[in-house]
């Protein structure tokens, strides 16, 4: 686990994915399956989006590889009166049967995974015609290779694509169709990632990592962005 992901876990950051919860809501309003269709939140973190889906009466299931994140998600669900099954597991080996879900939601998780394995597993657990809804980091414009390597190393990204490359890899890995989702005036949807569930003990190095993250985002703002897509099995 990268220092960045470890920091997110200890701080219990909700909405750390690009665009925050408001952006997720806008994307889901365009791309989610009909109500009552089963959705997997793959890499649920503190459960912020899963809780939203639960309140919208979707039968949502969570999976995350970080036990601390699952602990914080469970606390959230209990506080909000939700019963959402949660599982410890990795995208590369999902603990679910074939053709279980109508949709899989991934919010800034695929970029940290072994992508071919993750996409293969997502296809396996999707029902025929099911959809992958992704919100991922994306390059706005080409970045010098040395800077790209530094950013990948800091965050722990395994891939760092632009929109066109995301669409291409989804088709190459077996999805029938992939589309970029646009939200009008999306800049107005961004919200600060200020919701936190702090662990009792956090060392100074993790505060340093948080500071370094904000500085990177500010310094390379012209290059660093995000995209949302939906891909169909």
The rounded distance, in Å, linking the Cα atoms of 215 and 233 is 39
Q: Give me the torsion for CA of 194, 197, 199, 204, rounded to 10°.
A: 0
Domain 3-232 sits in CATH 3.40.50.150? yes
pLDDT digits (tens, 9 = 90+) for 78-113: 999 999 999 999 999 999 999 999 999 999 999 999
pLDDT digits (tens, 9 = 90+) for 39-73: 999 999 999 999 999 999 999 999 999 999 999 99
Q: How far is CA 44 from CA 9, 49, 68, 128, in A?
A: 11, 8, 11, 23
Domain ranges (residues) in the chain: 3-232
The rounded distance, in Å, linking the Cα atoms of 75 and 108 is 22
* H helical segments located in 12-136: 20-31, 48-55, 67-79, 115-125
Pull the structure tokens for residue 218: 């500010």
Please state the φ and ψ torsions of residue 44, each to the nearest 5 degrees.
-75, -20
Q: What is the DSSP letter of 174?
A: T
Give the DSSP letter string of 115-171. HHHHHHHHHHHEEEEEEEEEEEEEESS---HHHHHHHHHHHT-S----HHHHHHHHH
The rounded distance, in Å, linking the Cα atoms of 32 and 183 is 14
Pull the structure tokens for residue 106: 């991934």
pLDDT digits (tens, 9 = 90+) for 131-182: 999 999 999 999 899 999 999 999 999 999 999 999 999 999 999 999 999 9
Q: What is the DSSP letter of 94?
A: -
The per-residue pLDDT for 184 is: 64
pLDDT digits (tens, 9 = 90+) for 181-209: 998 655 445 555 468 888 999 999 999 99
């Amino acid at each position: 686990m990268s220092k960045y992901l470890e920091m997110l876990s200890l701080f219990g950051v909700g909405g750390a994915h690009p665009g925050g919860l408001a952006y997720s809501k806008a994307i889901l309003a365009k791309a989610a399956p009909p109500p009552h269709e089963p959705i997997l939140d793959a890499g649920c973190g503190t459960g912020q989006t899963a809780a939203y889906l639960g309140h919208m009466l979707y039968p949502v299931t969570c999976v995350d590889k970080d036990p601390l994140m699952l602990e914080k998600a469970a606390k959230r669900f209990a506080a909000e009166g939700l019963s959402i099954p949660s599982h410890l597991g990795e995208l590369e080996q999902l603990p679910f049967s074939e053709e279980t879900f109508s949709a899989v939601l991934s919010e800034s998780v695929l970029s940290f995974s072994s992508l071919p394995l993750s996409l293969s597993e997502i296809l396996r657990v999707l029902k025929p015609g099911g959809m992958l809804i992704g919100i991922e980091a994306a390059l706005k414009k080409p970045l010098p290779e040395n800077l790209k390597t530094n950013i990948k190393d800091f965050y722990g990204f395994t891939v760092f694509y632009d929109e066109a490359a995301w669409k291409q890899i989804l088709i190459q890995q077996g999805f029938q169709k992939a589309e970029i989702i646009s939200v009008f005036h999306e800049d107005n949807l961004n919200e600060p990632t200020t919701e936190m569930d702090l662990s009792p003990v956090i060392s100074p190095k993790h505060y340093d990592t948080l500071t370094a993250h904000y500085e990177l985002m500010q310094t390379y703002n012209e290059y660093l962005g995000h995209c949302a897509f939906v891909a169909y099995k």
